[in-house]
Structure formats: C-alpha cells, structure tokens
Amino acid sequence: MTLRISFTTEQAIRLFELVFALTGILFFCHALHKPLGGLSSLIRYGVFLTSVGLIIFRWRMLIYVIKGDPFILLVNLISLVSFNWSEVPHESKVACREILYMVSLSLYLATRFNLREQLILLCWGLEITAFISAVYGLALPAEGIHQSGEFVGLWKGVYSHKNDLSAFITLGGATHLVLLFDRNYNRIWAAAGLALCVFVVLMSGSKSGLVNMIFLVGMLFLLRTIRWRNLLMIMIFATIIGTAIPVTTVILGNWDNIMIGLGKDPTLTGRTDIWGYAFTQIEERPYFGYGRGGFWSRELDYAAEAGLAVVGAPPVSILTPTYRPPHSHNGTVDTLLEVGWIGYGLLLISILLMVTRTVKRIYITETPEDFWPLIFFTFFALYNFTESLMMIGENIFWVNYVATALTVRIGGQEELPERPTIRYRYRSLQATVPLSQARQKTPV
C-alpha cells in the first residue's frame, strides 16, 4: 500500500510561503544563529533575495501598503543611506545592509499576510525559539546557561545574554496572550505556549521581563474597555491619563530617593550617565545623527567617553581597556544617534498613525488580533526604555513594527480582491473577513 500525497500548485505555493515566512521570523529572532552557526548567513541572504522576489511579484500590493505609512519607510531610507555622513563609512555600509534585510521581510509580510496571520506566524516563531532555548537550558547547560560572572546559573538559551532571552520570550508571551482570546485558535495550545514563555523568562532570572508580561496582561484587559462605547470608557481613560501625568512628575522629581529607597541604583546601573553623555553628542549633530553604527564604533572615542561617564576613569586612547558600552541601552537615544531628530520625528509620526488606526480598528471591529498593535507598541516602549530594541542590529522587533505599521490602515488589505489568502484546514490560519463584516465575528 502506497501513501499518496498530492498538492495542487496553489497549495504548494501557500505551504512554501508559510515555511519561508516562519524561517525569516526565526532568523530575526536569532533562534538559528547558535544551532546552525555559519549556515545562518546563508539563511540571511536567502530570506532577503526571496523576499525581494516575492515583493516584486506583488508590486501592486507593495504600492498599496507603502501608501499606508510612507513615514516609516523614510526612516529606514535615512538609515540606509546614513553611511554617507558616518565617521566610519566602511562600518556603516555593512550595518546599513541590515536595514535592507529587515525591511524586505517586513514588506513581504505586509503584502502577503493580514494582521492575524502575522500575529500567528510571530507567535509560532517565538514559540519555537522558547522551545529551543528550553532545550539548551535543560539538555545543553554549558551553552544555554551562564557559567560564570554575576549571572551564573541563569538561562540565556540560544542567546549570549539572559536579557536578550527575556526580551524575545516576553514578546512571545504577549503573542500567546492575545491569541488566548481568539476562539478560532487552539486555546489549549496558546495557553501551553504562554506557560512555556513564562517558564523560560523565570529561568532567565529577569524580573523586568516578568513584570512587563504582567503589565501587558493588564494592558490587554484595559484595551477591551474601548469596545464599551460609553461614558464609563471615557471616564476610565481620562482618570488614567489624569493620574499618570502627576504621578510621573512626582516620580521623576524624586527619582534618586525612590530608587535608593527600593535598594536600586538611581543611574539604572550607569544607563542615565550614558544617556546624558549621548544627548550632549546629539546636540553636535542633531539633524541626521552619526549614521547607522557610526557612534558606537570601536574605532572612535565616543563609546570610551560614554564609558568614562559611568566608571569615571579617563581613557588614554581608543585602545584603552576601559568600559565601552555597545549601545546606549535606550531605543530612543540610539535612534537619535543613528538618524537624528528628522528621522526620529518621522518615526513618531508613524507611531501616531499606527496607534490612531489601531484604536479605530478596536472600536469598529470585534476581532482579538486588532489588540495586537497596541500590545506590541506597549512592549516596544517598555523594553526600549532600558534596552535598545529598535534599529540596533538585525532583530524581529523592528521587522514586526514595520510590518504592523504598514498593515493596520483602516479598510486595509483584507478588502483587496487581489490579496491572496490562506485557506488551510488549520483553524489558526483561516482567512480574515472584510472589516465591513467584522462585527459579525466572535467578540473578545
């Protein structure tokens, strides 16, 4: 008896695109770097070339999504050509290629998949990342656990540092959290994935990751009040905003006393010292910054001088073995250093557009995935306060932000007749109905 498996051409193409998209997400989650070693570079180029080819094939859809948010593409364009004003153009040219790799996948995701499908693919990618990291932590402790230093015994999984593991897996927890409210997705699977993410974050010893995950849970329940469409909703948001402003003012005005009282370093382990130095340098080149990778280069003195602001020992030269931070540990500061106030201003416009469109979608529709852009933005803002997860290196955070910003326009690509849809038997990837029919869908 022979087992016969038949695929139509259309089914084969759809399957290929699913596997390809998931591979690209895994690459930018850095889940493949440690297991595959040098082969991950081949995946980088393969993902880039394939993305470009598929984007060209859907050029009409590409024009449509670009019109949705040209500002975010201008930010990427400024970063891409920033080697022209970098003090280390040879390094910046290499770093600028990373923008091409990330944006190509973002454009492909935005032109091929709707918001729900993007969320599910990201969820799967981070779920696999969490599983591989758990395997490294349990079966390969020499590779997956810190063996020395202040973090000895804490998990780092497929990453080089526990904080990286915490950031990626916390995002994974957020994706599973949103899908828990989706009745068309396997909720048992979503709960199991969320439990796995929480377990990995706990093993990384990251308190901030756990706190951020709890905060995202509260944020999700808060966003649900937008759908009440009554005076109570307005009162709740007015109270939150009215309370947040004076509370923030009090915290900032008494920052040192509060942190000392909590037994914490008021400088956030030197971060505020680095930020202070970085802002003095931003004033020197305010418009377009120092170019991608141009400020923290080891060939320049900026990183050593930033280290001086923390440790207080003047560097004799760029070869002096003093502390050299690899980045500012703040996404906003690093973005300003890379693309200046012009690029950062364009990014703020893009964020404002995304938030406004997302609130409208939440108010009009009744689908769980419409919560995702604001949940992701909240995660993005929380982590970029003490870490740099925006445009540094190759990362899924920037890939996902660009793809999401291009996807959330009202009356988006779900209503385009030319847009391909996934019609697999898997309930988790059923096609999305037009927004005009969204009110008939299952409420959250």
**So where are the chain's domains?**
9-228+269-440
pLDDT tens digit at each of 444 positions of the chain: 454 555 688 888 889 999 999 999 999 999 998 888 888 889 999 999 999 999 999 999 999 999 989 999 999 999 999 999 999 999 999 999 999 999 999 999 999 999 999 999 999 999 999 999 999 999 999 999 999 888 899 999 999 999 899 999 999 999 999 999 898 899 999 999 999 999 999 999 888 888 888 888 888 887 776 665 555 665 666 666 556 555 555 555 555 555 555 555 556 667 888 888 999 999 999 999 999 989 998 888 888 888 887 765 554 444 444 678 888 888 899 999 999 999 999 999 999 999 888 888 887 777 888 889 989 998 988 888 878 888 888 999 999 999 999 999 754 444 443 444 434 333 444 444 444 444 344 444
Q: What is the pTM of this model?
A: 0.85
User: In the numeric block, which tokens belong to residue 349?
Assistant: 């416009």
CB-based contact 399:101 (threshold 8 Å): no
The CA-based angle 359-361-364, given to 5 degrees, is 110
Residue 138 pLDDT: 94
**Residues 6+ positions from 2 with CB-CB distance below 8 Å:** none
Which tokens go with 50?
A: 């394939």
Instruction: Report residue 343 as tokens.
Output: 């690029």
pLDDT of residue 382: 86
CA atoms within 13 A on the CB side of 97: 10
Question: What are the tokens at 131?
Answer: 């599983």
Sign, CA dihedral 379-384-385-387, equals positive
Six-digit token string for 236: 């709740």
3-class state of residue 199 by DSSP: helix
pLDDT on residue 319? 40
Report how far apart the first and last C-alpha atoms of the chain are (Å, whole number): 47
CA distances from residue 214 to 64, 208, 378 in whole angstroms, order as listed:
37, 10, 12
pLDDT computed for residue 428 by the predictor = 43
d(CA 422, CA 419): 10
